[in-house]
Chain A
Amino acid sequence: MNLEELKKLKEKAQRQVALREGNKKYRVVVSMGTSGIAAGARDVMKTMLDEIEKRGLDDVEVRVTGEHGLEDVEPVIRIEEAGGEETTYARLDAEKAKKIVAEHLGKGKKVENLAVGKQKKTE
């Protein structure tokens, strides 16, 4: 083992434990209430998980939550950013989810046509 090898091993291993340390740039919150699940929220989440992995996006965590209170437009996700910005996406399916991963999480660009409501700044 030398320093370079240790560094490489650390980078590889870090993904295993990073979830436990918090401080991710993006937090994706998937609404998994009864209506969300019925509308296909699990599929949306699975697609997102696969896409995030495929693209090697390390600075993202995915959580599930109960209802967002937007039953009519499920599946719904919310993306929270470290700076406090929040974006809600609604009426999602696998294809749209892929796009959000690529654009929003990958390039930091909001997918405006899928976003709903006014984006909110929380402190």
Chain B
Amino acid sequence: MSFLNYLVSGLSLGSVYAIIALGYTMVYGIAKMLNFAHGDVIMVGAYICFFAFTRYGLNPFLSVVLAMLVCTCLGIVIEKLAYKPLRAAPSLAVLITAIGVSYLLQNLALLFWSSNPKVFNPIIPNKSINIGGLTVSYITILAIVVCVAIMIVLTTFINKTKLGKAMRAVSEDKGAAQLMGIDVNTTISVTFAIGSGLAAIAGVLLCSAYPNLTPTTGSMPGIKAFTAAVFGGIGSIPGAFLGGLLLGIIENLAKAYISTQISDAIVFGVLIIVLLVKPAGLLGKPTREKV
């Protein structure tokens, strides 16, 4: 395989990380918490799609929509039951709760769906096309296209719509946002809903590329996407996008040219170096402001 091949497949993997990282970063930006259960929502989304599409032969598009709906509801319920009661609690308590929710989801999956890997059928034909001598699989293209589309829609939503602007206001100052008449609880719910819906899409794309589905499928991509979000600047939407793509590319090139075994170590090593130089991440928001 050529360098370009590795680059394109890295971009595709990075697109999946970016979609997951968007969920991390939006929730962090607004609720100021790290939702470590986010990776497991990906896994749930992948299972739903697996059952709908592979098992019961539902139309692939509808299967994805169904997975998104389930994950959206799941995200809202998790926020209501686990995080909302802790709104005023110390962040360590929230963090531990999030880790607890993560294990809960994995164990429920184990209970319902067992640890036997499910073989996930890709939602689009497992074929490739040749672009100027470069062989690219459909799923690779799909991941990149979907990621860019999500990014455009999300950016427009945040910058142009009333609800999107309210989300930015809540992320900056909850008290002041309430004084504008913004319902902070609803805004936080919407953020979880969007993040979880995106997680479902990420789950489907991930399992279409790596078809081995188990209850822990979401863990590693979840951690890597979290890394990507920090890499790009946690809380920043363009940062999550950039961080995800870069992480995927670095991981793939490290696998190709250095070693498959230590590729993850290389990825995290790069992260540490970037954070030493730019502690707020690549596109981290400047916190300086005039008073």
A pairs with B: no
Chain B residues in the interface with A (C-beta under 8 A): none
